[in-house]
Amino acid sequence: MVDFDGFQNLRYLSLANCQLTGQIPVWLSKLKNLEILHLENNQITGPIPSNRISGEFPKELCGLPRLLYEPFEEDTYELELPPLGHKPANPTFLPRRLSFNPAMIDLSRNNIDGDIPNEIGQLHLFRLLLLHSNRFSGVIPNQISNLKNLEELTLSMSHLSGKIPWSLTALNFLKKFDVSYNNLEGPIPTSTQIQSFDASAFEGNPKLCGAPSLNKCETNNTIDADVGFWGVCGSLIIKKRWRYAYFGFIDNVQDRLYVMMTVSMNKMKRRLRA
């Protein structure tokens, strides 16, 4: 990639469909006004393929000021369009102002590896975080729950493991959520927000359980019974002395019960004869 260091006022940078290779350059963090970054979908032939961007997610991208702080009141997000050509018959057909897209980073369909950095939770103004179809390792960071304005979070097909953080239930504005085809496990957080999404958003994770997935979670009673069973039987299997003592005790109890029952039966027979 070339160096965009001179474009200090750049807010929107799209390099999609450009056959990019190599790593994501750290100099992108120098674009202090950058709000939107598109790096997805290169070499489109037939089915949509991936970029060949590789390397880890650069933590420097998590320090872009435009994604950390609210803008000043006088800092506009609109572009004034000068009048062009003749006046249209319908004056509402062409708007005089164009609003910018919401703050976002789209790094989907690449080969980015390593962990998703915890620093990503600093980007409080994010509305879209699209990281699907990569080769991340590790877990979904809890810090994503700090992105209170987040509307879309896509992490599907990204080799992620561990549990879905319960803290994500705090993302009240989430409209799209997809963690399908990873190695996630454990219960899906019980909240109206997360469980309102379709089961397809969670499929491809055989160890995930709970609604809306089709896998049922084990109840506490089942787990307690399993723990109790193996707690007793496991000790008897491991400890030979305990095993002999236990079965010796059972034999003694059995003999005593047999004697008591025999004596009782004989007494009853004598009474009946009398």
* Assigned domain for 48 exists: yes
Give the domain CATH number at 135: 3.80.10.10
Mean pLDDT rounded to a whole number for the chain: 72
**pLDDT 10s digits, 74-121:** 443 443 444 444 444 444 443 444 444 567 778 888 877 888 888 888
Separation of alpha carbons 193 and 195, rounded Å: 6
- Determine the Cα–Cα distance for residues 220 and 25; give it in Å rounded to an integer: 49
What's the rounded Cα separation, in Å, for the pair 179 and 3? 34
User: Based on the domain organization, do 39 and 103 belong to the same domain?
Assistant: yes
Supply 158's token pair: 């990204």
CB 165 within 8 A of CB 143: no
Q: Examine residue 49 and say whether the peptide bond preceding it is cis (omega within 30 degrees of 0).
A: no
Is 39 a domain residue? yes
Q: Which domain holds residue 68?
A: 12-209
Does 168 reside within a domain? yes
On whether residue 251 sits in a domain, the answer given is yes
Question: Are 189 and 114 part of one and the same domain?
Answer: yes
Same domain, 50 and 170: yes
pLDDT of residue 78: 40
55 and 181 in a single domain? The answer is yes
**Residue 188 pLDDT:** 93
- pTM for the whole structure: 0.57
Closest CA to 158 of 185, 139, 144: 139
Three-state DSSP class for 54? strand
| Domain total of the chain | 2
Do 125 and 257 have their domain in common?
Answer: no
At 43, the amino acid letter reads: Q
SS (H, E, C) 156-225: CCCCCEECCCHHHHHCCCCCEEECCCCEEEEECCCCHHHHCCCHHHCCCCCEEECCCCCCCCCCHHHHHH
Give the mean pLDDT of 159-185. 94
Residues 247 and 141 in one domain: no
Same domain, 252 and 202: no
**78 and 178: one domain?**
yes
169 with 244, same domain: the answer is: no
* pLDDT at residue number 89: 47
Could you tell me if residue 247 is inside a domain?
yes
